[in-house]
Amino acid sequence: MLPNCIVNGVAKSGTTAIYSYLGEHPDIFMSKNKELNYFAYDSKIGECNDAHFPIKTQTEYEKEFECSKSYKIRGEASPAYFSILSSAARIHKLIPDVKLITSIRNPVDRAFSGYLMHVRDGKADPKIQDSFTPDKHWVKLGFYSKNLQEYYRIFPSNQIKIVLQDDMKRDTAGTMERIFEYLEVDPHFKPEVKQRHNVGTFPKNHLIQRILLQKETVRRYLEPVTPYFAKKILWKMEKLNQQEPPELPAEHKEYLQNLYREDILRVQDLINRDLSNWLN
């Protein structure tokens, strides 16, 4: 069994919410694990590790859908398929008739969200001054036009459903209804859209955050002998150390808008949508 639907939106653009809402529909089977990343895997790349690429063979990939025979739609969601350009050709080679759901987001907001995630993970400096130079990973992901062009080159446009995160935030239920129509399943099904997914936060104390990040080491090596109450304490401490993220400073927002301007205009033409609000 292979999927006939793939959510291949850019990271931090609502892919988790779409994946979750699709999985609530009675006619749709979504893989148990999000981000299988099978079509992004390349054994020649040194960064291909088990954490980022849990599925490396077609046999393993098909096993993820072995319980999906009774469903009209079988799907998965992997943002890496958008950022790793070679994924498009690999998907088409194996599943040429697949329906793609490609979510994108204002690249300025996406860059800031990506930065905040890296700060939470201890992979970025919480001092924002030099955090949005063009070489930063979370900035580079905001140039969408080249990636979209590759998908439009390989797949017919009627197999690509573009979803703006703006629409998901403004009218989640209506946007999901249109996605269900695209997938030709009951569009009147109402998923639990009030539930928020992948909500961004910011550490109150970065030293405490670095200490709490060691919980992954605890989980990997000490979980079999760690009392449950001790794990609960770590989880609670992590939650208490989070707060609402700060606003992106105006000077950084203006810089990013100018950086992305030409690419936004190209994306606007590609998807035939007015994106002028991304430049204001």
CATH number at residue 171: 3.40.50.300
Token couple for 101: 């759901």
How do beta strands 202-203 and 242-243 pair? antiparallel
Is the domain of 113 the same as that of 135? yes
Which pLDDT score is estimated for 35? 94
Q: Please give the pLDDT value at position 207.
A: 55
Please answer whether residues 242 and 257 qualify as being in contact, where contact means their C-beta atoms are separated by less than 8 angstroms: no
Q: Say yes or no: 32 and 151 in one domain.
A: yes
Number of domains in the chain: 2
* Alpha carbon distance, N-terminus to C-terminus of the chain: 46
Q: What is the pLDDT of residue 119?
A: 83
Are residues 60 and 47 in contact, defined by beta-carbon separation less than 8 angstroms? no
Same domain, residue pair 222 and 117: no
| Same domain assignment for residues 17 and 48 | yes
Do 59 and 157 fall within a single domain? yes
Q: What is the pLDDT along the chain (280 residues), one digit of tens a residue?
A: 899 999 999 999 999 999 999 999 999 999 999 999 999 998 665 455 556 888 999 999 999 999 999 999 999 999 999 999 999 999 999 999 999 999 999 999 999 999 998 887 777 777 888 899 999 999 999 999 999 999 999 999 999 999 999 999 999 999 999 999 999 999 999 999 876 656 666 665 555 555 555 555 555 555 565 666 666 666 676 667 666 777 899 999 999 999 999 999 999 999 999 999 999 8
Burial 204-219 (b: 16+ CB within 10 A, else e): eebeebeebeebeeee
Is there a single domain that holds both residue 63 and residue 152?
yes
The residue among 38, 21, 39 whose CA lies nearest residue 30 is: 21
Non-local (6+) Cβ contacts of 78 within 8 A are 6, 7, 8, 34, 35, 36, 37, 38, 39, 40
Co-location of 141 and 222 in the same domain: no
* Predicted pLDDT at 24: 97
Residues 102, 182: one domain?
Answer: yes
Say whether both 63 and 43 belong to one domain: yes
Does residue 113 share a domain with residue 38?
Answer: yes
The range of the structural domain enclosing residue 161 comes to 5-199+245-279
Q: What is the largest CA-CA distance in the chain?
A: 57
- Are 167 and 208 within one domain? no
**Torsion sign, CA atoms 198, 122, 35, 10:** positive
Same domain, 125 and 212: no
